[in-house]
Structures are given as structure tokens and as C-alpha cells.
């Protein structure tokens, strides 16, 4: 289990993905975007809109089961992207870098960008917006749901 948790709201994710797009605008134009599923799908859609890129491809890499990290396995290759020339890879987070290394090997000529980066993986990506500590588990909005929480005074036992 992670030592710390950081909850990202839909609004925060949108702001951070737009900030990523802002950083990427001068590095383009890009022929297309490759979203790493599943976490990179929404940031990739936001970035695609902001930089006016219509070709969005995906690569599916499975490396987590809940909070347990396993060996990354490509379950869908990004065939439209070739070797990555002119393409932008987008993911929500680079953690240990194991998934990023697998995708980087598939698309060695692409620019790799993610919204959030941890120290162990940030050297694998070319651009990111926010660094978080290695012991922090990010709770993305698609992993959580809002619910009522009683006031602290009523939680005393």
C-alpha cells in the first residue's frame, strides 16, 4: 500500500492536461497522438483538443492489478504510429517507468508526455507537468466517487 494518497479532481486533471498541452504546443506540430490506455485516454483527448490534433491512436499496456505493480504486457499495439515519428505519446502518470519503457521501445521516435511524474520514472518521459513523491498513490477521478462525509465533530467516537 502507498504511504500517501493524492486525490485529483476532474477540474484539476483538466487544468493539468491543458498545462501539458501548453508546454507541448511549440514542440509540434504532431501528426498524431498515442494515448496509453486506460489512464492516458482522457488527458490525450484534452491535449488533442488543445493542440488541434485529430488522429488519436492508443496502445494498451497492462501493468497494475489494483495497487500491485506487475510486468507490463502490451495487449494492443499502436499500429498507426509506426516508429513514433511525428507522434506524441500521452499518459496520465509515469510511476516506476516500466510501462513507459515498453511504450518508448515501441515508438522510439515519439515525444513522450505525461501529466504527473514520479522520480523513478521521470527520466523516461520528455515532458510532464507535476512531480509527485514516489510513495504517493494518485487517486484519479475515474477511480473515485464523491460521497457524503460527516463533519469531524460528529465522527468522534
Supply the residues annotated as catalytic: 91-92, 95
Nearest to 117 by CA among 128, 109, 104, 107: 128
For the chain, how far is it from start to end, CA to CA, in angstroms? 26
Amino acid at each position: 500500500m502507498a504511504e500517501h494518497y493524492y486525490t485529483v479532481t476532474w477540474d484539476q486533471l483538466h487544468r493539468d492536461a491543458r498545462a501539458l498541452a501548453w508546454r507541448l504546443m511549440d514542440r509540434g506540430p504532431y501528426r498524431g497522438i498515442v494515448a496509453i490506455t486506460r489512464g492516458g485516454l482522457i488527458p490525450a483527448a484534452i491535449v488533442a483538443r488543445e493542440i488541434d490534433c485529430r488522429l488519436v491512436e492508443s496502445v494498451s499496456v497492462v501493468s497494475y492489478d489494483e495497487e500491485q505493480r506487475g510486468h507490463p504486457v502490451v495487449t494492443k499495439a499502436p499500429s498507426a504510429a509506426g516508429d513514433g515519428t511525428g507522434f506524441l505519446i500521452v499518459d496520465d502518470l509515469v510511476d516506476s517507468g516500466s510501462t513507459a519503457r515498453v511504450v518508448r521501445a515501441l515508438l522510439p521516435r515519439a515525444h513522450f508526455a505525461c501529466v504527473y511524474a514520479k522520480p523513478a520514472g521521470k527520466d523516461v518521459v520528455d515532458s510532464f507537468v507535476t512531480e509527485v513523491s514516489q510513495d504517493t498513490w494518485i487517486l484519479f477521478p475515474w477511480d473515485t466517487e464523491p460521497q457524503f462525509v460527516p463533519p469531524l465533530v460528529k465522527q468522534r467516537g
